[in-house]
A = this chain, B = another copy of it.
Amino acid sequence: MVTNTISRLIENPHNCPVTRAMSIIGGKWKPIILNCIGEKSLRFGKLRQYIPAISNKVLSNELKELEQFGLIERIEYKELPPRVEYHLTQAGRSLLPILHEIARWGKTELAIEIIEKAS
């Protein structure tokens, strides 16, 4: 069973949009996965190469959730050995501006320094 990410959802009387967005794309791996896929179409194994620190199980779960949210599409080719490709849906592509901003900030000296100091 896939754990329901929306359990992270917070009842907020102000109905905060940031809360809503983070309930969907927050979490340790989702932005990284979405950013890896980007405009491309990626196989499961390729994602594992790009994000070696993620385990089979967790990657599989995260992909399922993203698919349930309609942010990515999973295409299974009936071949042997099996081939499955993931790509962003139109909804998923609407997240690209967020991902670009995050990536931009993550490239700054500031971000690099914060990580260094904290390590």
Contact = CB atoms under 8 A, between A and B. Distances in A.
Contacts of A101: 97-98, 101
A84 interface: no
Contacts of A81: none
A9 B115 contact: yes
Interface of A is mostly: helix
For the complex formed by this chain, how many copies does it contain in all? Answer: 2
A24 B26 CA distance: 13
Interface residues of A, number: 53
Interface of A: 4-6, 8-14, 16-24, 26-28, 31-32, 35, 50-53, 68-70, 91, 94-95, 97-99, 101-108, 110-112, 114-115, 118-119
